[in-house]
Structure 1
């Protein structure tokens, strides 16, 4: 198990290094002069040069990259040109919204999808199965931002059970914060639950046709016992992959939903950084989100090894 974990950690570390080089090149090399880009075409040369000195852009590419990556490793993400505060402070503030939102949506999607997938697999070929598959197909097809606006129209405008947007802060109480995140979490969870339910059904149906399941049934176990004791654990392996990818998406890809509900999260901060040409914020946040995706991938791989001992023997 330790060897498997070290091998995966080394592989993902190399991926992180390559990602940092790509991000650095795209943000600071390809567009040309980042300072001129941030200030606009009509900026005075003196202002551009002052900003270059402020951002440390007068050094070589190698020294700038090493300075940036060293700062990232020590928690120094630079200073936002727009807000004039450390990017780490902005990330800490916005993460208090994005991380609970991602976890909330992931819990909702998993809680819905796994039982639904189990029911669909158990009722294969029945009206229930066709109904579930049709509903999940609709959940995948419907854009989450359209579903978000529909939720606002029904539950905020007409029924007035929830607010149409904004976040009161956790100082207002945990229940008030969760209530503000409920509609965005549902909007994010719908397509993820639909995907996860279909994967759960397909994986479980494939597992139920394996020889060891037939052997378990021949020994006297009922279909439910064979499913819960033997099939479910192996069927969870592809499901874990989807759950890991979904968490990464929910954390990094909620830009549209956060803008629909005016949530001060990481997604909206990236959007604001792009529109305000604050490349320091964009560069640091993209790297941070890539790091989060890689860490989640590593944890999923470790979960694989815990579920399937064959992976540990192959390492």
Structure 2
């Protein structure tokens, strides 16, 4: 298990290094100069040069990359060009919106998908299975932003059970959870549909294995074989999808955050790109990439726990 862990940890470190180089190069070659954007088209050359010096934009790019990476390793993400506040503070403020939203949405998706997937797999080809598959197809087809607006119209405007947008902060936990409920549902339902289909397919493939037939021949019912043997062996593709879904929910909720006016990381990236705040874009994207790679690392470890054969191959 130690060898398996070290191999995955080495892969994580290499992935982070490559990602940091790619992110820095992509953001730096993007058109537009932050100093020119901040001062406007009629800025004087000496004023523009002074601002570039203040922002550190006149430093050679390799030196700026090294400073950026070493700063992140020590927890210093730099200073925002636009707001002149530490990027780490901006990220921390918004992470307390995006992270709970992603966790709540993923929890809802899992709570919906596991019973639905097990129900469909245990009734293969029957009306219950067909109904679940039809519902999941609809969930995948509907855009989540359209569903979000529908939720606002029904539950915020018509019924007035929830607010239409905004986030009151965690000083009022109940109000904060109410504000995140509709966005979480809008994000969770498409992911639940995907996860349900993956779980059903993995379970059906597992139920056709020889050891399941042997268990059935020994007297286990289909339901008992499903719960005792098939479910655990079907978890590997499901864990992969859950890991990818968490990464998507954390980094890809920009549209939902715009619909509900949530001050999350996605909205911060959108605003920073429009304002040419390069240091914020680089740092937030790198943080999200780190979260994605870390989740994949944890999923790999979960593979080893679920299937001991993978540990012996490392």
The TM-score, its normalising length taken from structure 2, stands at: 0.97
Residues in 1 aligned to 2:47 and 2:213: alpha-carbon distance in whole angstroms:
75
- Alpha-carbon distance, 1:267 to partner: 0.8
Instruction: Name the Cα RMSD after superposition.
Output: 1.3
The answer for unaligned runs of 5 or more in structure 1 is: none
Residues in 1 aligned to 2:12 and 2:63: alpha-carbon distance in whole angstroms:
24
Match of 2:225 in 1: 226
Residues in 2 aligned to 1:176 and 1:17: alpha-carbon distance in whole angstroms:
40
SS at 2:263 equivalent: coil
- Alpha-carbon distance, 1:59 to partner: 2.4
Superposition map of 1:125-204 within 5 A: 125-172=125-172, 174-204=173-203
Residues in 2 aligned to 1:110 and 1:36: alpha-carbon distance in whole angstroms:
47
Query: Does the C-alpha gap of structure 1 residues 42 and 24 become closer, same or farther in structure 2, counting only changes over 3 Å?
Result: farther
Match of 2:257 in 1: 258
Match of 1:16 in 2: 16
Match of 1:268 in 2: 267
- Alpha-carbon distance, 1:279 to partner: 1.4
- Count of paired positions: 314
Deviating more after overlay: 48-57 vs 285-294: 48-57
- Alpha-carbon distance, 1:268 to partner: 0.8
Are the aligned partners of 1:38 and 1:279 in contact in 2 as well (CA < 8 Å)? no
SS at 1:147 equivalent: helix
- Alpha-carbon distance, 1:60 to partner: 2.2
Deviating more after overlay: 39-48 vs 264-273: 39-48
SS at 2:231 equivalent: helix
Residues in 2 aligned to 1:120 and 1:30: alpha-carbon distance in whole angstroms:
48
- Alpha-carbon distance, 1:33 to partner: 4.6
Per-residue CA deviation, residues 143-183 of structure 1 (Å, 9 max, x unaligned), is: 000000000000000000000000111102x2211111000
Match of 2:301 in 1: 302
1:76 aligns with 2:89: no
Query: Does the C-alpha gap of structure 1 residues 46 and 306 become closer, same or farther in structure 2, counting only changes over 3 Å?
Result: same
- Alpha-carbon distance, 1:257 to partner: 0.3
- Alpha-carbon distance, 1:42 to partner: 4.1
- Alpha-carbon distance, 1:40 to partner: 4.9
Residues in 2 aligned to 1:42 and 1:117: alpha-carbon distance in whole angstroms:
61
The TM-score, its normalising length taken from structure 1, stands at: 0.96
- Alpha-carbon distance, 1:62 to partner: 1.8
Residues in 2 aligned to 1:260 and 1:30: alpha-carbon distance in whole angstroms:
27
Residues in 2 aligned to 1:294 and 1:43: alpha-carbon distance in whole angstroms:
42
Query: Does the C-alpha gap of structure 1 residues 133 and 276 become closer, same or farther in structure 2, counting only changes over 3 Å?
Result: same
- Alpha-carbon distance, 1:136 to partner: 0.4
The answer for unaligned runs of 5 or more in structure 2 is: none
